[in-house]
Structure 1
Amino acid sequence: MTDLELAEVESFSLDHTKVLAPYVRLIGVEHGPKGDAISNFDIRLVQPNEGEIPTAGLHTIEHTLAGLLRTRFEGLIDISPFGCRTGFHIIAWGEPTAAVVAQAIKASLEDIVDRVTWNDVPGTTAESCGNYRDHSLHSAKEWAKVVLDQGISIDAFDRSIIA
Structure 2
Amino acid sequence: MADVESFTLDHTAVRAPYVRLIGVDHGPKGDAISNFDVRFVQPNEGEIPTAGLHTIEHLLASLMRDRMDGIIDISPFGCRTGFHLITWGEPAVADIVAAVRSSLSAIAEEITWEQVPAVDAVSCGNYRDHSLHSAREWSARILEQGISLDPFERVGV
Q: Normalised by the shorter chain, which TM-score bucket?
A: over 0.9
Describe the SS at the equivalent of 1:70. helix
Out of 117, 120, 125, the position equivalent to 1:130 is 125
TM-fit CA distance, 1:33 = 1.1
Q: Distance in 1 between matches of 2:37 and 2:118?
A: 23
Out of 90, 94, 97, the position equivalent to 2:89 is 94
Describe the SS at the equivalent of 1:90. strand
Out of 134, 137, 144, the position equivalent to 2:139 is 144
Residue 39 in 1 paired to residue 39 in 2?
A: no
Out of 46, 49, 58, the position equivalent to 2:44 is 49
Out of 55, 59, 63, the position equivalent to 2:58 is 63
TM-fit CA distance, 1:69 = 0.3
RMSD in angstroms over aligned alpha carbons? 0.6
Unaligned runs of 5+ in 2: none
Given the two structures, how large is their TM-score scaled by the length of structure 2? 0.99
Q: Distance in 1 between matches of 2:28 and 2:50?
A: 38
Matched letter for residue 64 of structure 1: L
Aligned to 1:79: 74
Aligned to 2:100: 105
Aligned to 2:150: 155
CA deviations over 1:18-63 (Å, ceiling 9, x no partner)? 0000000000000011110000000000000000000000000000
Q: Distance in 1 between matches of 2:108 and 2:134?
A: 10
Identical-residue share of aligned pairs (%): 68
Describe the SS at the equivalent of 1:129. coil
CA deviations over 1:128-155 (Å, ceiling 9, x no partner)? 0000000000000000011000000010
Q: State the number of aligned residues.
A: 157
TM-fit CA distance, 1:161 = 2.7
CA deviations over 1:69-124 (Å, ceiling 9, x no partner)? 00111100001100000000000001001111110000000000111000110010
Describe the SS at the equivalent of 1:152. coil
